[in-house]
């Protein structure tokens, strides 16, 4: 039998790996078992689809269809759900939903790229049909259909990225939107004062943001909260994503932080011949060296590529992650990378945080808008550890400069002296990143 690679999951990580194996090992048989009918799609685009910014339905979010992958020599089997991994036999059991039967397939190398799933707390009524996650294109199809069918009272439970973007999307649809967040602020990944600015921006956009409010359950037409019932035609779960790791765990694959599959820098698990990548797997944080679970499409693609190279016999390494992320919520852009001050303290690092206010472009231009940058650096060495940026158009993408600096191990002084571009429509003469670094030098 020819060398066979089996991949469970046909989205970003799985198809990145499949493509690498196909390109590097021409004689290999590459089989992908995908539980849905889609491959290589962008879940990040779902809010923009629901909000009406994207035409063409859910198919518009598919980067490469199953047939396109098949034409490239990859045996993609949609509506095939893996149910058992048998490492001793080197086999995967799966349900072929087309034929309605259970089958097995052998493998030489196996990639578990089962992705993530919306966190669904154990609350009364959570399984009611008007409660939806935002993770797959099946979710997108349901949410888009409900929006077009006239759902008007939308409640988002949780203040994560996707949940907040969905609230804005439904406002653009002419609906009402209420965000219920148990914490004192939305977006727990940023500092409280930045989160407060996000909440204010969303309220100014017509979104009812209720922080410090818990959810007790659901009943038809309402969300039951600690602040009383909230009427709802549709509930969107925006609490976050957890690893879909049960299949691997049952096969003896080690699970770690947040029950994500533990992998090394080659994307290998503790079980010989089994690899993992994507939202179901851990990553290593570049600053702290700790195992983390950060479900982002950028990491899924990158780590799937690394896994594919290694499964084909190569030697690639995942360098670690910083949690670099960017989003736009109403009038604000938000970017973050590395660690916050509280996270630095928790990791045993002696750090300081410095905040500066600036403008997105030269302040005398009419389209200049405020922006704030907060930089976290190690006391004594001045090593950059993290940053957050919030502001108007043109603010948040500057986070890439700081992510690059952290990856390179740069100090504040080195960042302050970077040769950054200047023209009034793009920046003040001293770019705000350099200004923030120079100000932070005084504190370390």
Nearest 5°: CA angle at 360, between 356 and 363?
90
Which pair of tokens denotes residue 209?
A: 């943001």
How would you label 327-339 residue by residue, b for 16+ Cβ within 10 Å and e otherwise? bebbebbbbbbbb
Mean pLDDT of all residues in the chain?
Answer: 96
- Which CATH entry fits the domain spanning 120-237: 3.40.30.10, 3.30.1330.20, 3.50.50.60, 3.30.2080.10? 3.50.50.60
Cα gap 167→41, rounded to integer Å: 22
CATH 3.30.70.260 describes domain 4-36+79-117+241-311: no
Q: Is the pLDDT of residue 150 over 80?
A: no
Q: Furthest-apart CA pair in the chain: how many Å?
A: 70
Instruction: Place 414 in a pLDDT band, splitting at 50, 70 and 90.
Output: very high
Q: What is the pLDDT of residues 276-318, one digit of tens each?
A: 999 999 999 999 999 999 999 999 999 999 999 999 999 999 9
Give residue 149's pLDDT: 79
Give residue 347's pLDDT: 97
Cα gap 47→54, rounded to integer Å: 10
Dihedral angle at the C-alpha atoms of 306, 311, 314, 315, nearest 10 degrees?
50
Q: What is the pLDDT of residues 184-213, one digit of tens each?
A: 999 999 999 999 999 999 999 999 999 999
Helix axes 12-24, 297-311, angle to 10 degrees: 30
Q: What is the DSSP string of 142-192?
A: HHHHHHHHT--EEEEES-SHHHHHHHHHHHHTT-EEEEEESSSSS-TTS-H
Give residue 411's pLDDT: 98
DSSP code of residue 58: G
Q: What is the pLDDT of residues 355-378, one digit of tens each?
A: 999 999 999 999 999 999 999 999
Give residue 406's pLDDT: 98
Cα gap 417→142, rounded to integer Å: 51
Nearest to 6 by CA among 66, 75, 72: 75
Point out the catalytic residue in the list 44, 175, 211, 330: 44
Cα gap 185→206, rounded to integer Å: 17
- Which CATH entry fits the domain spanning 325-441: 3.40.190.10, 3.30.70.100, 3.50.50.60, 1.10.4160.10? 3.50.50.60
Is residue 382 within 8 Å of 413, Cβ to Cβ? yes
Q: What percent of the chain has pLDDT over 70?
A: 100
Q: What percent of the chain has pLDDT over 90?
A: 92
Q: Is the pLDDT of residue 140 over 80?
A: yes
**Is 175 one of the catalytic residues?**
no
Give residue 220's pLDDT: 96
Beta-strand relationship, 283-284 and 291-292: antiparallel
Q: What mean pLDDT do residues 325-329 have?
A: 95
CB atoms within 10 A of CB 196: 16
Instruction: Place 146 in a pLDDT band, splitting at 50, 70 and 90.
Output: confident
Is residue 161 within 8 Å of 181, Cβ to Cβ? no
Is residue 143 within 8 Å of 118, Cβ to Cβ? no
Phi-psi region of 241 (alpha: psi -120 to 50; beta: other; left: phi over 0): beta
The reply to whether domains 120-237 and 325-441 share a CATH topology is yes
Instruction: Place 115 in a pLDDT band, splitting at 50, 70 and 90.
Output: very high
Instruction: Place 1 in a pLDDT band, splitting at 50, 70 and 90.
Output: low
Reported pTM: 0.95
Cα gap 422→167, rounded to integer Å: 36
Enumerate the domain spans of the chain.
4-36+79-117+241-311, 120-237, 325-441
Q: What is the DSSP string of 244-306?
A: --HHHHHTT--B-GGGPBP--TTSB-SSTTEEE-STTB-EEBTTT--EE----HHHHHHHHHH
Q: Is the pLDDT of residue 332 over 90?
A: yes
Q: Is the pLDDT of residue 36 over 90?
A: yes
Is residue 151 classed exposed, middle or buried when 0-12, 13-18 and 19+ CB atoms within 10 A define those classes?
middle
Q: What is the pLDDT of residues 55-84, one digit of tens each?
A: 999 999 999 999 999 999 999 999 999 999
Give residue 135's pLDDT: 87
In this structure, the chain runs to a length of 444
Give residue 13's pLDDT: 98
């Amino acid at each position: 039998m020819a060398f066979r690679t089996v991949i469970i999951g046909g989205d970003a990580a799985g198809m990145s790996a499949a493509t690498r194996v196909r390109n590097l090992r021409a004689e290999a048989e590459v089989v992908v078992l995908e539980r849905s009918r889609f491959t290589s799609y962008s879940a990040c685009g779902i809010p923009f689809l629901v909000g009406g910014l994207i035409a063409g339905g859910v198919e518009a979010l598919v980067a490469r269809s199953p047939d396109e992958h098949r034409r490239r020599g990859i045996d993609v089997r949609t509506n095939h759900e893996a149910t058992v991994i048998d490492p001793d036999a080197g086999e995967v059991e799966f349900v072929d939903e087309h034929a309605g039967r259970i089958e097995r397939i052998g493998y030489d190398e196996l990639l578990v790229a089962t992705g993530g799933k919306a966190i669904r707390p154990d609350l009364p009524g959570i399984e009611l049909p008007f409660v939806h996650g935002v993770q797959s294109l099946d979710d997108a199809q349901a949410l888009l259909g409900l929006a077009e069918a006239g759902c008007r009272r939308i409640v988002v439970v949780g203040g994560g990225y996707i949940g907040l973007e969905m609230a804005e999307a439904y406002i653009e649809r002419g609906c009402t939107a209420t965000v219920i967040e148990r914490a004192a602020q939305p977006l727990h990944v940023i500092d409280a004062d930045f989160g407060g600015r996000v909440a204010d921006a969303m309220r100014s956009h017509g979104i009812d943001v209720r922080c410090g409010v818990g959810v007790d359950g659901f009943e038809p037409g309402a969300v039951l909260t600690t602040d009383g019932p909230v009427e709802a035609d549709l509930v969107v779960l925006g609490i976050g994503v957890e690893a879909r790791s049960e299949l691997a765990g049952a096969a003896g694959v080690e699970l770690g932080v947040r029950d994500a599959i533990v992998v090394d820098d080659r994307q290998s698990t503790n079980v010989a011949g089994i690899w993992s990548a994507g939202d179901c797997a851990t990553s290593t944080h570049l600053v702290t060296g700790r195992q983390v679970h950060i479900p982002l499409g950028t990491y899924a693609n990158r780590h799937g590529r690394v896994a594919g190279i290694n499964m084909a016999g190569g030697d690639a390494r995942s360098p670690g992650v910083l949690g670099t992320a960017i989003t736009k919520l109403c009038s604000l852009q938000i970017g973050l990378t590395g660690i916050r001050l509280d996270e630095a303290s928790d990791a045993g690092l002696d750090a300081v945080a410095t905040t500066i206010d600036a403008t997105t472009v030269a302040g005398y231009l009419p389209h200049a808008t405020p922006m704030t940058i907060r930089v976290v650096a190690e006391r004594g060495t001045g090593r950059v550890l993290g940053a957050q940026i919030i502001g108007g158009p043109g603010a948040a993408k500057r986070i890439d400069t700081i992510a690059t600096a952290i990856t390179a191990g740069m100090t504040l002084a080195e960042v302050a002296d970077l040769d950054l571009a200047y023209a009034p429509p793009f920046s003040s003469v001293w770019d705000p990143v350099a200004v923030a670094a120079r100000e932070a030098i005084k504190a370390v």
